Every structure is written in C-alpha cells, then in structure tokens.
Structure 1
C-alpha cells in the first residue's frame, strides 16, 4: 500500500470518527431535551459511552479516528491539499484547519486518558488547566483576552453558516446527483446548526468578559444548556440536537464521498 493511499484512508477514517462523535453528542442532547442530566458535550458523551457495553472498544475507535482526523487537518493546513492558496482568506481557512486539528488531537488524548486511567487522574489535569487560566485571567485587562478568544468560535460559526447556506461543500464531493439530493439538505442543516452552537459559545464568552473566573470555558454543553433554559427550550434543544445528528451525517458523507487530494510533495503514489 502506497503512502498516498494510506493518507486517504487516514482522512476518511477521521471524517467517520467525527461523524461518530457528533452522532453520540446529538443522541444524548436529544435525550437531554427531556432530561437535563444527560451529557451534551464531547467529554461527557465519551465518558457516558465508556460505561456502555463494548464502550472501551467504541471509545478506542473514536480515539484512533480523532487522531487520524487531527493529522489530516494538520496536513490540510500545512500542505494546502485543498488549494486554499496563500492569500489572506486562504491563510485564515488554513489557520482554522490547523486549530481544528489541535482541538481534535486534544480530544483524542482526553479519550485516550479515559481508557488508560481512572477519571480522578484526568481531573487533576483539568485542575492544572484552571490554575493556568486563573493566572492568565488575573491580568488587569484579562477581559480583553476573553473577547479576543471569543472571536475564534464566532468566526468558525459564521463560516459554518455560510458554508451550509451556500452549499459550498459540494465542490469537494464526488457523488452523483441522486446521492447529493439527500446529502445536500441534511448537510446544510447540520452545518448551520453547528454554526449556531459555535456563535452561541462565542456570545457566552463575550458576555462573561471580565466576570469570567478560573473555570472551564463555556463549550457545547453550556451553549445547549442556555438554549434549554429559554422558553420552549426543550423544543429548541431538540432541533439543535437533530442538527448535530445531521452534522454527523455530513461527516459520514465526507468519509465516503469527499475528494481527498493527495498530490502532496514527498508522498509516494501507488
């Protein structure tokens, strides 16, 4: 098997792992529409999955897939395999891909920690993270730092909504019209839903501002909790949960039909 073919398998496995993770989050969020004790984020969902039959095997698959996906994102960013170019817009997209690779790599390490250690040991590392956060936020103008950080999920969220609205993802798909007839609307709904969640995370960060203390930063759980606390929140949470499941379908579709360009210098062909 050539190195090029191996990288294609790595990329497709990564998209499938992302799909599995969002499917799990979406299902738990759907259940949480009526039961607020259900997990609504990636960390808690992985912990809940670990307690299920064959949980270790499933989490192990997610770990391998997330590591593959992180490596693919880094390759997309550093080798520009999707030809985003070196203009400002392309550099911003590539920076986002690199950030996504780092986030997925960190999530994979968290899941790996669940497999090889008990939850108490992982809790100590999160305490160290909070200590570092407390040090950063002790700065006089730390609220400005929070506002700057909030721009990241805001940009990601807006990009997802535009990507879903314009269906620009189709240029990367190699699927016939009959397949895209079903993939297109589900993928658009999933991308918009994920974009809304990211924008809400950004707003939660911005609202917290200078009042933000040494705690875990707001994430998907906090965003979905905020929706659930609104009037008819259970309905909004249900719609958003279906959107996250739709995003998992989009990820699985990428695993099957996305163009994986591996015309990369230094990578051997078959």
Structure 2
C-alpha cells in the first residue's frame, strides 16, 4: 500500500506539472484554455506516448486505490465525527475522479479517442432533469466549494506538515511550495463550484463551467493574462507538492 500511495502521488504530480505548463501557454499566447485531461494528450504526443500513458493510467489507479483505503479503512485516523466523515467522503470522490482520469488516458492509449464535450456542463444538464434537480446541482456546487475551502484551510493552517517526514531545512522550502499549490488547486474547485451553483439557480446548464471554461473566463477578465500566469505557477507548484508527497509523506494506518 505504501508503494501504491507513493506511485499515485507521483502520477498526480506529473499530471499537474504538465497542466501548469498548459495554463501558462494559455496566459502567454491567449489561446483557448485547457482542462486537466489535456495533460494526457501531451503525454500521448511524446515518443512512446502510448506506453507512457498506460504507465500513467496505472499510477492514477494506484492513487485512486490509496484514496479508497484512506477513506474506507480510515488510514489517516479522521474518525467518525462529522468533519472526519466529510473528509473521508471527499477522499472517495477523489478516488472516483482519478479513476475517470485514468480511463481517459487508457482511451487515448488504445486509440479510442477522447471523451467529448464538457463533462461538468453535461452532468449538470442531466441532473437538472431529475426530480429536485436544481437542489442537487446547487448541493454539488456547494460540495465543490467545500473541497476548495478544505484546500485553503490546509494551506493556511499548514495541515500538510503533520504528514511530512523530512528535515527542518527541507520544510523551509516545502512549506511555501505546498501552501501556494494547495491554494491554486482550491481556487479551481471553488470557481467551478460557484458556476455550478449559478447554473442551478438559473436552471441553465450552459452557465456551468469546467476547469477549462473557468480559465477562459479568467483570461477574458481585466489583467487576465497576469492572473493566469500566477495561477499557472500555483498549479505547477501543486504538482511539485504532490511529487514531494511521493517521497516524504508518511503512509501508515493510524485509523
């Protein structure tokens, strides 16, 4: 399980490092923004890209398995109180999201093409047709904002520090890298969640934005190029944070 966790953190780190580069490309060239899944296309286009994608998909599945263990077996000791259960449910959602990302990589590797469309907007459109669809969409947006808020809290309070087994000297540079990276990823969740809530209130799925749509929205704002440049740096630092976790995060079973 320790190997699964470390391989998984490494795979996630590489995905976000590449994604940070894609966000920077959008900021510099003012081209259409990319989604996290577009990182897989970058890997696919490399020499021996199909094989690398299969390896990457395996790493993302390893990460999903570790997240599942963290949740169901309470590997980190979050407990059964409301806050602990909320964290454990979020870990299950993270596992599902990374299985989906792994499947997208395998589809590319097997020349099955990419999943088309905008998944967030498509999901919102489907849910709006359900009974109490508006309420469910708004609830989903609130959950996304809550995940973003958890990233902010972790960044501000330095909650990641308790899991890192490294020297005080190393922590002096790991600390700011981790705080900036977590904040950048938290902004992604919070931004997408806000637009999902808005689409639920307007009953219009076209108002929902995925990550690429959110970045396009930022690009078109005043000083959008500079905001995206800063965001690109933060996303890349989240990738560095994940790679750091692959090497120095404590992986045990205190639950």
User: Same fold per TM (> 0.5)?
Assistant: yes
Which residue of 31, 35, 60 corresponds with 1:37?
Answer: 31
Which residue of 179, 182, 198 corresponds with 1:188?
Answer: 179
User: Which region of structure 1 is more displaced relative to structure 2, 203-212 or 224-233?
Assistant: 203-212
Which whole-Å CA distance do the structure 2 matches of 1:184 and 1:130 have between them? 36
Give, in angstroms, the shift of residue 137 of structure 1: 2.0
Cα RMSD after superposing both structures: 2.4
Give, in angstroms, the shift of residue 117 of structure 1: 3.0
Which whole-Å CA distance do the structure 1 matches of 2:244 and 2:177 have between them? 10
| Structure 1 residues 130 and 233: alpha-carbon distance in aligned structure 2, compared to 1, 3 A threshold | closer
Which residue of structure 1 lines up, in the alignment, with residue 45 of structure 2? Answer: 51
Which residue of structure 1 lines up, in the alignment, with residue 191 of structure 2? Answer: 200
Give, in angstroms, the shift of residue 88 of structure 1: 1.1
Give, in angstroms, the shift of residue 211 of structure 1: 3.7
Is 1:159 the counterpart of 2:150? The answer is: yes
Which whole-Å CA distance do the structure 2 matches of 1:221 and 1:37 have between them? 11
| Structure 1 residues 107 and 225: alpha-carbon distance in aligned structure 2, compared to 1, 3 A threshold | same
Which whole-Å CA distance do the structure 1 matches of 2:214 and 2:71 have between them? 28
Q: Please tell me whether Structure 1 or Structure 2 has the larger radius of gyration of its CA atoms.
A: 1
Does structure 1 retain, via aligned residues, the 8 Å contact 2:76–2:252?
yes
Is 1:242 the counterpart of 2:242? The answer is: no
Is 1:21 the counterpart of 2:12? The answer is: no
Which whole-Å CA distance do the structure 2 matches of 1:33 and 1:54 have between them? 29
**Unaligned segments of structure 2, at least 5 residues:** none
**Unaligned segments of structure 1, at least 5 residues:** 1-6, 265-270
Which whole-Å CA distance do the structure 2 matches of 1:114 and 1:220 have between them? 20
Please, what TM-score do these two structures have when normalized by structure 2? 0.91
* Count, aligned residues: 254
Deviation string 1:211-250 (CA, Å, 9 cap, x unpaired) is: 433x795222122111111101010001001000010111
Structure 2 residue matching 1:119: 3-state secondary structure? coil
Give, in angstroms, the shift of residue 38 of structure 1: 5.5
Which residue of structure 1 lines up, in the alignment, with residue 141 of structure 2? Answer: 150
| Structure 1 residues 39 and 114: alpha-carbon distance in aligned structure 2, compared to 1, 3 A threshold | farther
Please, what TM-score do these two structures have when normalized by structure 1? 0.86
